[in-house]
Amino acid sequence: MTTCVFRYCKNTTRNVSESSGISFHRFVHHGHPKREKWIKIIQEDRSEDMWFPTKFSYICSAHFQADDFYTTQSGKRFLKKTAIPCSNPSEYAHRNLQACPTSLVEVQISDSESNLDSPREIQLKKDLKKVTDEKKLLANKVKKLQRQNKYLRKKTETLTAILKQLQRKYRMNKQIENELIKKAEVVVSSSNKKIAEKD
């Protein structure tokens, strides 16, 4: 059973037929300029930013204006390349068909319609946010490393000062030790001489 992808549309191949004037139309192929606009309209209608069509996704003809169709000599009805769907078919009558644009040329996206970004634009914004978040994270890491480096530099300076004090103290003790050794050698030498004289 084929259904219409608009959230509140009840048209299906089970309860309507082409004889009633309702037909179902697939999304155009990838790369077609109309495809992303259709997707944006459906995403807004369904309040699903990550909704994307499949090969089973259809829009019923109730969401298009009569001028959006053309009929072949064999009697088959097809959508024009410029056709754009509308979420609420009743708006056609109440707003003199102003609810839906009749062509891509008439479609203008203002700042207030930024929530209708194309899938590519949505992905680009996500990539940009990811890069921005990574940049902020790296900036925080750099600041943390700078603080750690400053702390280590101060600690190194303190340890260097202590080391110099110890080195000075060690040299002084060494001098005292050398002087004591010399004095001891003098005393020993003097004692030896006295002993030798007695002998």
Q: Both 134 and 159 in a single domain?
A: yes
For residues 59-72, average pLDDT: 88
Q: Both 112 and 98 in a single domain?
A: yes
Q: Of 60, 89, 116, which residue constitutes the final position of a domain? A: 116
Q: Both 166 and 130 in a single domain?
A: yes
Q: Both 92 and 125 in a single domain?
A: no
Chain segment 154-168, per-residue pLDDT in tens: 888 888 888 778 777
pLDDT at 183: 73
**Does the pLDDT value for residue 43 go beyond 50?**
yes
The answer to whether residues 3 and 25 touch, using CB atoms and an 8 Å cutoff, is no
pLDDT at 58: 92
Q: Of 82, 98, 116, which residue constitutes the final position of a domain? A: 116
- How many residues would you count in the chain? 199
- Give 104-147 as a DSSP string: GGG----GGGGGG--HHHHHHHHHHHHHHHHHHHHHHHHHHHHH
| 11 in a structural domain | no
- pTM reported for the whole predicted model: 0.44
Chain segment 84-128, per-residue pLDDT in tens: 888 766 554 444 444 455 444 444 444 434 444 567 777 777 888
Q: Both 51 and 123 in a single domain?
A: no
Task: List the domain range (segments joined by +) for residue 136.
Answer: 118-199
